[in-house]
Structure formats: C-alpha cells, structure tokens
Amino acid sequence: SSAAATPAERTLVLVKPDGVARGLTGEVLRRVEAKGYRIVALEMRTADDALLAEHYAEHQGKPFFAPLVEFMRSGPVVAAVVEGGRVIEGFRSLAGTTEPTGAAPGTIRGDLGRDWGTSVVQNLVHGSDSPESAAREIGLWFPAL
C-alpha cells in the first residue's frame, strides 16, 4: 500500500472590517489554529479600491458591488495566508455559509455573525473558494509570497 500524504494547501483568509471592529480577530485566528492549520503570513491593512476591484472581480457589475467595496474599505482588515491539508474547503467549513442568519451554530458566521441592518452582508471573514481563487488572492494580498 502506498497511501501518500495529503499535500499542504494554502488559502487566503480575511477578517473583514466588521470582524476587526468587533474585536474578533483573535477569535477567528484561534479557531484556525485550533483546527490545526498554520498561519504563514499575517498583516493588518486597509484595502483600497484597486485591490478590492481585483479581489471581488467576479462580482463587478452586480448591484451589491459598490456597497460591498465600500464596506470592505471602511476599516482595516486582517489578511492571513493559512496552510494545511484541505484548508481551502476546511476554512470555508469553519466560516459557515455566506449569510450568518442561516449559518450553522459552531461556525464563525453562525456563532458570531450578524447580517441584519445593513444592505451588504457583513459576514466577518473571507476564505478563498477554490485552489485557483486561493492562488490568485494570495498573489494579490501577499505579492512577495
């Protein structure tokens, strides 16, 4: 038998402006580390329009694009590159579904997210949704990596 080890994967995690403002950065990173993933890069910064237009390129032209960018640049975010086996799928699982109201308890969004009272979904965290997105987003946020 030749069971090969699962190769490590990398994903981009963002603690969005609502998460940073509410003091949940540590809680998010704690859950990431508790799961066994490794933080390999970490930076706090306020994103500008150019970066966000690239980051959310798939949503350009949609009605929520402008409010989404406005929300994402409303305050600092904490960006992290997180590494581990099947971490892309694994972090999406830790985060929970996009809308916090319906997200499962036990997930970041389900336990901590509040998606009422604002026009754009403020759901605390971002995680890349595929290997292609992860490579693209890591290149965008951490060009030196």
Q: Which residues are catalytic?
A: 126
By CB under 6 A, residue 54 contacts ligand ABT: no
Torsion sign, CA atoms 109, 11, 72, 20: positive
The letter for the amino acid at 43 is E
Judged by CB under 6 A, the number of residues near ligand ABT is 12
Nearer to ligand ABT, 7 or 17 (CB): 17
Measuring CA to CA, which residue among 144, 129, 73, 139 is closest to residue 98? Answer: 129
The answer to whether 69 and 52 have CB atoms below 8 angstroms apart is yes
- Residues 55-84 within binding reach of ligand ABT (CB under 6 A): 64, 68, 71
Token digits for 50?
């150019």
Residues 23-52 contacting ligand ABT, CB under 6 A = none
Region of 61 on the Ramachandran plot (φ > 0 left; ψ -120 to 50 alpha; else beta): left
By CB under 6 A, which span of 19-27, 32-40, 78-86, 122-130 interacts with ligand ABT? 122-130
Contact status: 126 vs ligand ABT (CB under 6 A): yes
Which residues of this protein are in contact with ligand ABT, per CB under 6 A? 16, 64, 68, 71, 98, 120-123, 126-127, 129
